């Protein structure tokens, strides 16, 4: 047996044994959950081998699992908790509005939340609330098709836009669906294009006059957090405007996180439509599509002749608790923005990224760290960094590293996601605590051997293993 494989196998066995020893109650919960929940969880990415953690509570930058183990949390429920767990102002707002009941039809509170979004987001002339980022993207696409009279949507490789079948293709660098059950017919109205290549985009738009919208995630988060250049986004804005194509920024992740006004304020590029979720609700189930009044007017009773109607509705679009969370969060984001806290949070993330790079270098572990605002992603590779080079990396070694950190009390990311977030609740001391735990893990375990062997805890959710061929029809 290869020495690196033998060493990596020992590392893996030791980490798994430690995890099982300290999480016996989670193992019990998983056994029970598997009898009633598909896969034992409420979402694929919540599972990781040998079984997932089950959490009992959280406060600030910490969470507690079913066994009573405490973790410094940098996963933050995959991003919504930009203010941390149970921020006092958010909890007070929920309590303040609890007397209204769970649901009201057309509550005035929705108007207040919409006004606060308008104050922050450059494109937000009109707003429609929804329950999830997926619903917001679906509505934005529907509005774009109605506005232009065209059928297709162009998306970029490496960009994720929720659960719509038509957009669950091209998450890597090849035209493949993320899993089974997504037929070619579902994606027949989707055009794929490489990102940060304005000539390729121009060729695609010129060759297909039936493209209604271009949608993009300014963070390119699903593809590895490669971000966007302002120059490119401005070129995309000019090109889509010239071609009469609706430009949609999917700011479900970047909204209120990259800056108070989202990525569009950072890059000084105003899209026609933008979608929001995650940080908007600060833990409440709330999303929004915002944008030009003349496009969203298709939803309104006073729409112009020949414009619309576009249908969108939902029973829980104006849930009291979600709106209460959002009104408190948006007021806090504004205060934090005015007080310079966004810049401080970015500096904290930069310190974490630098510390991680230094730690891996000291231990001869090839690792590239992408950092954008308060978000990070890691890649075990010494290849020249690029989306194309890193999109097919084996997930096992990195998943095993995250599992080792969990054993050290640091939930840097779920092993299945590679999504690292910092919140306004994280302190400089928290960053030092993370880096100290990383040093302990790398001192104890030979991750250079793990990376050379390419083994670890590979999840069935590993996208590089689960993509299905997609033949464009």
pLDDT in tens, 176-213: 888 888 888 777 899 999 999 999 999 999 999 999 99
Range list for CATH 3.40.640.10 in the chain: 88-338
Range list for CATH 3.90.1150.10 in the chain: 3-78+341-469
Across residues 260-286, what is the average pLDDT?
97
N residues, the chain = 473
Q: What are phi and psi of 310, to 5 degrees?
A: -110, 130
Assigned token pair, 451 = 């990376």
Secondary structure class of 76 (helix, strand, coil): helix
CATH classification (class only), 3-78+341-469: alpha beta
Measured between alpha carbons, how far is residue 46 from residues 39, 54, 331, 378 in Å? Answer: 10, 10, 31, 19
Q: What single DSSP character describes residue 413? A: S
For the domain made up of 88-338, give the CATH fold.
3.40.640
pLDDT score at 175: 87
pLDDT score at 5: 79
pLDDT score at 1: 46
pLDDT score at 103: 82
pLDDT score at 459: 46
Across residues 252-275, what is the average pLDDT?
98
pLDDT tens column, 381-438: 999 999 999 998 999 999 999 999 999 999 999 999 999 999 999 999 999 999 999 9
pLDDT score at 455: 67
Higher-pLDDT residue of 304, 198: 198
Higher-pLDDT residue of 120, 470: 120
Across residues 314-335, what is the average pLDDT?
95
Measured between alpha carbons, how far is residue 295 from residues 53, 135, 265, 305, 401 in Å? Answer: 44, 17, 21, 13, 46
């Amino acid at each position: 047996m290869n020495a690196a494989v033998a060493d990596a196998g020992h590392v893996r066995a030791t980490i798994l044994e430690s995890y099982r020893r300290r999480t016996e109650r989670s193992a019990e919960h998983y056994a029970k959950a598997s009898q009633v929940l598909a896969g034992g969880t409420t979402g694929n990415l919540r599972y990781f081998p040998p079984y997932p953690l089950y959490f009992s509570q959280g406060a600030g930058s910490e969470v507690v699992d079913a066994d009573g183990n405490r973790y410094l949390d940098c996963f933050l429920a995959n991003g919504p908790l930009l203010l941390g767990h149970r921020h006092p102002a958010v909890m007070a707002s929920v309590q303040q509005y609890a007397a209204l009941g769970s649901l009201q039809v057309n509550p005035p509170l929705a108007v207040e939340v919409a006004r606060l979004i308008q104050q922050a987001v450059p494109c937000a002339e009109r707003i429609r609330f929804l329950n999830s980022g997926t619903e917001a993207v679906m509505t934005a696409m529907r509005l774009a098709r109605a506005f232009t009279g065209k059928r297709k949507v162009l998306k970029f490789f490496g960009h994720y836009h929720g659960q719509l079948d038509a957009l669950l293709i091209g998450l890597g660098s090849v035209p493949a669906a993320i899993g089974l059950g997504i037929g070619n017919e579902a994606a027949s109205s989707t055009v794929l294009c490489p990102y940060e290549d304005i000539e390729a985009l121009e060729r695609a738009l010129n060759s297909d006059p039936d493209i209604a919208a271009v949608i993009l995630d300014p963070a390119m988060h699903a593809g590895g957090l490669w971000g966007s250049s302002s120059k490119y986004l401005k070129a995309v804005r000019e090109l889509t405007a010239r071609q009469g194509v609706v430009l949609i920024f999917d700011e479900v992740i970047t909204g209120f996180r990259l800056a108070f006004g989202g990525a569009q304020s950072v890059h000084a590029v105003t899209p026609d439509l933008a979608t929001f979720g995650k940080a908007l609700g600060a833990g409440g189930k709330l999303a929004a599509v915002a944008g030009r009044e003349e496009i969203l007017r298709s939803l309104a009773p006073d729409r112009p002749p020949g414009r619309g109607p576009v249908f969108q509705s939902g029973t829980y679009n104006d849930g009291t608790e979600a709106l209460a969370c959002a009104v408190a969060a948006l007021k806090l984001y504004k205060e934090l923005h005015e007080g310079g806290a966004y810049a401080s949070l970015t500096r904290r993330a930069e310190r974490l990224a630098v510390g991680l790079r230094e730690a891996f270098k000291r231990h001869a572990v090839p690792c590239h760290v992408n950092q954008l605002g308060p978000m990070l992603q890691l890649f075990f590779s010494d290849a020249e960094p690029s989306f194309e080079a890193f999109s097919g990396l084996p997930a096992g070694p990195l998943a095993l590293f995250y599992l080792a950190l969990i054993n050290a009390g640091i939930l840097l990311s779920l092993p299945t996601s590679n999504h690292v977030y910092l919140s306004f609740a994280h302190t400089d001391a928290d960053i030092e605590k993370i880096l100290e735990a990383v040093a302990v893990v790398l001192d104890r375990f030979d991750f250079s051997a793990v990376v050379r062997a390419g083994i670890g805890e590979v999840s069935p959710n590993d996208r590089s293993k689960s993509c299905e061929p997609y033949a464009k029809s």
